[in-house]
Amino acid sequence: MDSENLLSVLFVLDSSPQSGANLAFFNSFIEQLIDCMAKNVALTVFYPEFSDREEHFSLSITQLPAYRRAVTYIPTRHDSFSETYLNEKMDDVFNFILKDEHFDAIHIWSFKNHSFNYPSIAKERGIPVVCTLCDGFLFSNSLFEKGLAGDGGKVRVSNFVNSSVTSMAKKFFSLFKPEHRSYWFENVGRYSRFYNRVPNSGVDAEVFEERAETADETVNFCDRFVLFSELEYNFFYRPLIPESKVVFMEEGISGELDFWNRPFEVEGAVKFCFTGEILPEEGILELVEAFNILYGEGFHNELHVYGETHENSSYFNRLKQKVRNPNVFFHGPVQSGRINAALNTAEVLIIPAKWFRNDTFLANNAIFERRALIVSGKNAIAEKVRKSGRGIVLDEVTPRAIADAAKELECNRKRLYYFMRITDDFKVPDISENCAFLTSVYSELAGNRRETDSLLLAKKLNRRRKERQRG
């Protein structure tokens, strides 16, 4: 296709697609999607990087062989909590990017590390907006007020907001060592209940109310919402987002079927693996204790754990002290593009997550590689496993429940082999199908740009009302 006739699309990401700074290998999916999408549209990818040495909110634009990359530098801490969702400086950066090129569509994959104003800014320029709800950040008052695990914990505001102590410490350490960017903590760890063990969040209720109102307002300026699971939409978003704005797309994978459709037999003890975040919300403690139980009962199955250990040393060191099974091995994080290599160290993938998981990218890759699964219930992954008949769904995430499931697959090889059967009946989209689907969504919206004057007027009136109330 003539490059002049290609759609021009802007992807908004919360971090570099090459970094492991996202839950459940979402960036691995995004990286594959970008490689495919860049062949079909004129693509620009915009994301922030944490830095306290670069000029904050400066913008670096680079033309790569396949697509254009726009990177801005943001502080690890803000002056106020409100800046985590309404950030005028990020709005200015976004405005500059839109001035630089005319886009036919904007796809916001995450609002994390960005500003809720982006959709209305896009509407002022007549550009349609697509939003993917993949991390719960947009409608995440519960994340900040109740904690992701729903146990009443609150996010510590010092994880997001500057104080005199953090400012002085930052200046002091910058004099003696080069900057270290903790992508993992800023994008993942700071949201865990382990790093937020405080009785009070320190944020006024009015701020949370404003955040909720702004999120609701943002929905009006988005033309389409892409979700990976109907279960997630029905459970969380149906009251908030009209069905007419929602489309569903399962995360595609890339691979060849021929080699893995040969018969096989597992020799020796069945090996298990965990790939994810080494945090309480992922059920990793229950998993370790389950393998302690198995070892005490005479089973010598190996457990291979892949996840961040260096940046996560505070929790990892505590977890490691709980290990009494010598057959539990920690391998560190999995690099992007190496997921299948990690899966090939075991016959069974265990995902005992206690927070909601709407992704199926990891599960699809595991099934595609003919690996059986043990997963927690009430999420999109469990929905996938039930429909495909490829593993065991846990009724509860407890050491005993996980141990019993692992023991079942060790002792009942016939059932294990059924879960690992050939993939002829396994239906999962290829990543190219995701590209074609999204391109069709962009094309439809670009050809039917709707009037937004009334929405913009309502937003301005609402802003004036809030300013009068504050006054």
* 154 and 187 together in one domain: yes
Give the model's confidence band at 392: pLDDT under 50 very low, under 70 low, under 90 confident, else very high: very high
If asked whether residues 83 and 162 sit together in one domain, one would say: yes
Q: How far apart are CA 257 and CA 254, in angstroms?
A: 10
Q: Token digits for 232?
A: 């997630």
Give all strands of the β-sheet with 129-132 in edge-to-edge order.
59-63, 68-74, 42-50, 8-12, 105-108, 129-132, 224-227, 246-248
Find the angle CA(135)-CA(141)-CA(147) to the nearest 5 degrees.
75
Confidence of residue 166 (pLDDT cuts 50, 70, 90): low
- The answer to whether residue 19 is domain-embedded is yes
pLDDT at 142 over 50: no
- Percentage of the chain beyond pLDDT 70 is 82
Helix or strand (DSSP H, E) at 33: helix 26-37
Q: Convert the pLDDT of each residue in 340-373 to its tens digit.
A: 889 999 999 999 998 877 778 999 999 988 999 9
Query: Would 391 be classed as within a structural domain?
Result: yes
Print burial letters for 78-117: b (CB count within 10 Å at least 16), e (below 16): beebebbbebeebbebbbebbeeeebbbbbbbbbbbbbbb
Taking 50 as the threshold, does the pLDDT of residue 136 lie above it? yes
pTM: 0.88
Lowest-confidence segment of 30-34, 105-109, 158-162, 218-222 by average pLDDT: 158-162
Parent domain of 356: 259-419
Least confident among 141-155, 182-196, 258-272: 141-155
The sign one gets for the Cα dihedral 384, 389, 395, 398 is: negative
- Does residue 426 sit within a domain? no
Hey, what's the torsion of the CAs at 249, 421, 303, 322, to 10 degrees? 60
Q: What percent of the chain has pLDDT over 90?
A: 54
Same domain, 241 and 153: yes
Same domain, 219 and 77: yes
Same domain, 383 and 438: no
What residue spans of 222-332 are helical by DSSP H? Answer: 230-232, 284-296, 313-320
Q: How crowded is residue 196: how many other Cβ atoms within 10 Å of its Cβ?
A: 20
Question: Shortest CA distance to 16 belongs to which of 143, 150, 187?
Answer: 187
Number of folded domains that form the chain:
2
The CATH number of the domain holding residue 355 is 3.40.50.2000
Answer yes or no: is 140 within a domain. Answer: yes
Return the amino acid letter for 17: P
- pLDDT at 314 exceeding the cut of 70: yes
Question: Given this model, what pLDDT does residue 463 score?
Answer: 64
Please choose, from the candidates 324, 131, 359, the residue with its C-alpha nearest in 3D space to the C-alpha of residue 232. 359
Clarify whether residues 28 and 135 are in a common domain.
yes
* Residues 89, 64 within the same domain: yes
Tokens encoding 431: 């990543």
Based on the fold, state whether residues 234 and 367 are members of the same structural domain.
Answer: no
| 233 and 278 inside one domain | no
Q: Is residue 394 assigned to a domain?
A: yes
In a domain, 427, yes or no: no
Contacts of 16 (CB under 8 A, 6+ apart): 27, 47, 49, 71, 183
Mean of the per-residue pLDDT values of the chain? 85
Pair (150, 228) in one structural domain = yes
Partners of 50 in the β-ladder: 74
Average pLDDT over residues 46-57: 91
